[in-house]
Chain A
Amino acid sequence: MDPFQIQKAPVQYDVAIVGSGAGGGMAAYMLAKAGAKVVLLEAGGYFDPADPKYITQLKWPWESPRRGAGTTRAFGDFDAAWGGWDIEGEPYTNAKGSDFQWFRSRMLGGRTNHWGRISLRFAPDDFRRKSMTGVGEDWPIGYDDIKPFYDRIDRMIGVFGSVENMPSEPDGIFLPAPKPRLHELMIRKGARSIGIPVIPSRLSILTKPVNNERGACFYCSQCGRGCQAYADFSSSSVLVKPAMKTGNVTLINGAMVREVITDPATGLCTGVSYVDTQTLQEVTVKAKSVVLAASAGETARLLLNSKSSRFPTGLANSSNVVGKYINDSTGASRSAFVPALMDRKRYNEDGVGGMHVFTPWWLDNKKLDFPRGYHIEYWGGMGMPAYGFGWGIEAMNGMIPGRDGKMHPGGGYGASLKDDYRRFYGAYVGMAGRGEPVPLESNYCEIDPNVVDKYGIPVLRFNYKWSDYEVKQAKHMQETFEEIIHSMGGIALGDKPNAANNYGLASPGQIIHEVGTARMGNDPKNSVLNKYQQAHDVKNLFVVDAAPFPSQGDKNVTWTILASSMRTSEYLIDQVKQKNI
């Protein structure tokens, strides 16, 4: 077969959606339910966590020859994410002085398969940080615009939590939250004693069933492996599958979309071209509207690569804003050893996948030397041993007297060492700050002029440096972590991160919360999309991932992606009905 032959699919779809993660899955669900003929393009393979072909849930470490080490999967052998920060044949580059790490999941449902299920609403203030602080950007919409969609998603998808009446952390429609585990009760008691709030976490995990298609959580703590009961949210299980049941969705896996095709006369989208990752054939699908949900990075890449004489700087980029203002959450962490937890009674405390409690942002930035807040996530407990278990005991067992009451040098071997592993099991906790960065024009991704991926598609080059705002925030996190650790009688592990290492601030991209590369706004001169996430320049082009978000709060953005995608999908349907598109 001639590899350069271009296949043209004969049908014209109502909508082509690029990407099947949270945004694309929701758009496919909403549009298909409304009767639109949808083609859903996913670069990765099919995935169903209830099909034995894909199940890793409830497997034991010895079922992996590397005992779950992250050799081929960043978060370990059993993690659901196919892909990672490095994918063979799919490079990206960094400009000098930049170190952006770009995580991609190539699979149905995208990164919603392994995510932490943390489902927080933005607060009213999260939409207007520029007005409040003078830096960053306001959203063209506010909490009231998006609240009805949050409410609908809470009911439809399910999220547990507790009513707190905190203005910075709006309550949703919650399922019952699981009770804290022992280490979480200790953290809560300690933190509260020094004025730091600890409240039940808000995760999209079904502590009670919400419909007949999905079961309830059975507390194995393994949401990151994908759930065979569909008791947690992933786009593939919860949105794409029901969307396909309507009969209105054509799912194409292995479709690496290369370009959005436009009509040179009208400037409107007519479809997309993709490379079939198996055959390497170029295929074009026709659609009346195009919805991008490929992730902030891939959506920007696709727009910038969709150049034509009418759109010489890339599609929908007359503002030259595509790719700019990319921003990831800040992240810094510390772990600790809690002597009181040594020699614990054993029982099953797996719980849900992730933390049962967290600390929402509790301070006023006006009184601090950095302009944005952060929340704190916690871990610990008697988890299932995996690769890395027992590592580094030589730095631990010299700190604490042995059973004989005497101090011994760290390390050792034999019967006493074996006993130490048992004594120390389950006596560790950890905490991580996840903070809001200030989006900057100087942080951007662009097309690398020299590099293509294995499909011949030009790749992204990142330019990203943390500013003083984020470094100071990380410094504050580290101070807080030590205070919390000491408040609960813990011993902080390792050296305290300091200015020389940016206070442990993770490289941008490592937290996998990047947003903002096609920001929405009211002025077409400095934004890519209008307040409905519709391109200013191309009225039948929409973006429903996190690329449109002018900022990200200190709230993990998945719940807002879902709400915004639902809102945009209804707007699209309405515009079609009104014959505006």
Chain B
Amino acid sequence: MKRRDSLKALSLTGFGLAVNPVEAAVPAPPDVKPLKIPGGRQKFEAERDARLNAEKFFTPHELQTVTVLSDIIIPADERSGSASQAGVPAFIEFMMKDQPKNQTPMRGGIKWLDNTCTKRYGKSFVLCTKAQQIDMVEQIAYPSKAKPDMTQGASFFSFMRNLTATGFYTSQMGIKDIGYVGNVPNQWDGVPADVLKQYGLAYEERELTQGK
């Protein structure tokens, strides 16, 4: 049943006219465009991904906070760009929706950070000067050294650091940065000779001759 037909049926109900009671009670879902299922995905996964991508979790302020924090954690250097240049904030946004258990630690952590910055500097984290932001981060970036009133912030910062590292090093930019050179068809013929030498290791005779 198309949506407009079900609406018609519902409006007829108002006049007390006979309609199928089941259909009246459960209106047909709105027409949706058929979803193209990407290669390697199951249908339910593709539908779920499409639904999550259509949702928004972060407010603009939260997204801005996440962006600033991720770039403090992984800044650009001579070898590669920064976390936000690698798309980390968008990845973190997705993970909030994909695994909703992340939402409260993230939303609450940002709020904790703003509360603490307001107390210390009179404004929220993103409105602080760069020096104030770093001063704040220093309080929460080393869990074993965090003062008792900073431990929740340290937990939040570790959470942000983990998400940032994963988001960065699983991006195209991050994989180039870390120097991973696999994921291509190749022939494995053992550890390079110079590396064996460096570690004082050698293959056994049978390993060098087998299959030859």
Q: Mark A335-348, 1 if CB is under 8 A from B, else 0.
A: 00000100011111
A60 and B172 form a contact (CB under 8 A): yes
Measured between beta carbons, the chain A residues less than 8 angstroms from B186 are: 218-220, 348, 350
Q: In the complex, A186 Cα to B196 Cα: how many Å?
A: 10
Measured between beta carbons, the chain B residues less than 8 angstroms from A340 are: 199
Closest Cβ neighbor of A217 among chain B residues: B188
Q: In the complex, A78 Cα to B140 Cα: how many Å?
A: 35
* CB-based closest 6 A-B pairs: A390-B165, A176-B211, A179-B190, A218-B185, A346-B179, A61-B170
Closest Cβ neighbor of A392 among chain B residues: B162
- Which of B45, B142, B169, B179 lies in contact with A389, CB distance below 8 A? B169
B182 and A349 form a contact (CB under 8 A): yes
B71 to chain A, nearest CB (A): 10
Measured between beta carbons, the chain A residues less than 8 angstroms from B198 are: 345
A219 and B187 form a contact (CB under 8 A): yes
The CB with the most chain A CB atoms within 10 A, among B72, B94, B182, B191, is that of B182
- Which of A66, A186, A219, A413 lies in contact with B72, CB distance below 8 A? A413
B161 and A348 form a contact (CB under 8 A): no
Q: Mark A168-199, 1 if CB is under 8 A from B, else 0.
A: 00000000111111100110010000000000
Q: In the complex, A392 Cα to B178 Cα: how many Å?
A: 17
B169 and A60 form a contact (CB under 8 A): no
A66 and B161 form a contact (CB under 8 A): no
A421 and B165 form a contact (CB under 8 A): yes
The CB with the most chain B CB atoms within 10 A, among A66, A71, A186, A208, is that of A66
B182 and A220 form a contact (CB under 8 A): yes
B165 and A78 form a contact (CB under 8 A): no
B98 and A410 form a contact (CB under 8 A): no
B201 and A65 form a contact (CB under 8 A): no
B119 to chain A, nearest CB (A): 21
A103 to chain B, nearest CB (A): 16
Among A21-29, A379-387, A522-530, A547-555, the stretch in contact with B: A379-387
Q: In the complex, A418 Cα to B165 Cα: how many Å?
A: 9
Known interface pairs A55-B39, A67-B91, A386-B170; A413-B137 also in contact (CB < 8 Å): yes
The CB with the most chain B CB atoms within 10 A, among A60, A410, A414, is that of A414
Answer whether residue A148 sits at the interface, using C-beta atoms and an 8 A cutoff.
no
Measured between beta carbons, the chain B residues less than 8 angstroms from A60 are: 172, 175, 183
A347 and B195 form a contact (CB under 8 A): yes
Answer whether residue A8 sits at the interface, using C-beta atoms and an 8 A cutoff.
no
Q: In the complex, A52 Cα to B157 Cα: how many Å?
A: 40
- Which of A59, A178, A344 lies in contact with B188, CB distance below 8 A? A178
**Residue contacts A-B, CB under 8 angstroms, 18 given:** A52-B39, A55-B39, A62-B172, A66-B99, A179-B188, A179-B207, A180-B203, A182-B201, A185-B191, A186-B199, A220-B184, A349-B188, A384-B183, A385-B180, A390-B169, A391-B162, A392-B162, A425-B178
- Which of A348, A389, A414 lies in contact with B184, CB distance below 8 A? A348
A350 and B183 form a contact (CB under 8 A): yes
Closest Cβ neighbor of B146 among chain A residues: A411
Measured between beta carbons, the chain B residues less than 8 angstroms from A350 are: 182-183, 186, 188
Measured between beta carbons, the chain A residues less than 8 angstroms from B48 are: 72
Secondary structure call for the B interface = helix
Answer whether residue B18 sits at the interface, using C-beta atoms and an 8 A cutoff.
no
A387 and B141 form a contact (CB under 8 A): no
| Interface residues in A, total, Cβ within 8 A | 73
Measured between beta carbons, the chain A residues less than 8 angstroms from B166 are: 67, 385, 387-391
Closest Cβ neighbor of A390 among chain B residues: B165
Answer whether residue A573 sits at the interface, using C-beta atoms and an 8 A cutoff.
no
The CB with the most chain B CB atoms within 10 A, among A177, A220, A414, A418, is that of A418
B137 and A208 form a contact (CB under 8 A): no
Closest Cβ neighbor of B37 among chain A residues: A53
Measured between beta carbons, the chain A residues less than 8 angstroms from B98 are: 65-66, 69, 71
Answer whether residue A54 sits at the interface, using C-beta atoms and an 8 A cutoff.
yes
A415 and B190 form a contact (CB under 8 A): no
B145 and A220 form a contact (CB under 8 A): no
Measured between beta carbons, the chain A residues less than 8 angstroms from B170 are: 61-62, 67-68, 385-387, 389
Answer whether residue B144 sits at the interface, using C-beta atoms and an 8 A cutoff.
yes
A window 497-535: CB within 8 A of B:
none
A179 and B191 form a contact (CB under 8 A): yes
A393 to chain B, nearest CB (A): 7
B158 and A413 form a contact (CB under 8 A): no
- Which of A78, A177, A208, A417 lies in contact with B40, CB distance below 8 A? A78
Answer whether residue A58 sits at the interface, using C-beta atoms and an 8 A cutoff.
yes
B142 and A345 form a contact (CB under 8 A): no
Known interface pairs A207-B211, A346-B180; A62-B201 also in contact (CB < 8 Å): no
Q: In the complex, A185 Cα to B45 Cα: how many Å?
A: 40
Answer whether residue A329 sits at the interface, using C-beta atoms and an 8 A cutoff.
no
Q: In the complex, A58 Cα to B98 Cα: how many Å?
A: 23
Q: Mark B44-73, 1 if CB is under 8 A from A, else 0.
A: 110011001100000000000000000011
Q: In the complex, A350 Cα to B74 Cα: how many Å?
A: 27
Measured between beta carbons, the chain B residues less than 8 angstroms from A385 are: 166, 169-170, 174-175, 178, 180
A66 and B94 form a contact (CB under 8 A): yes
Known interface pairs A350-B186, A411-B142; A59-B40 also in contact (CB < 8 Å): yes
Measured between beta carbons, the chain B residues less than 8 angstroms from A349 are: 182, 188, 191
Answer whether residue B181 sits at the interface, using C-beta atoms and an 8 A cutoff.
yes
Closest Cβ neighbor of A208 among chain B residues: B211
B206 and A69 form a contact (CB under 8 A): no
Q: A186-B199, A218-B186, A391-B166 are known; give 16 further A-B pairs, CB within 8 A.
A: A71-B98, A72-B44, A162-B206, A179-B188, A179-B190, A180-B207, A181-B191, A345-B198, A348-B181, A350-B182, A384-B180, A389-B169, A390-B161, A392-B162, A411-B157, A425-B178
Q: Mark B76-106, 1 if CB is under 8 A from A, else 0.
A: 0100000000010001001100110000000
Known interface pairs A72-B48, A207-B211, A417-B74; A58-B184 also in contact (CB < 8 Å): yes
The CB with the most chain B CB atoms within 10 A, among A58, A88, A182, is that of A182
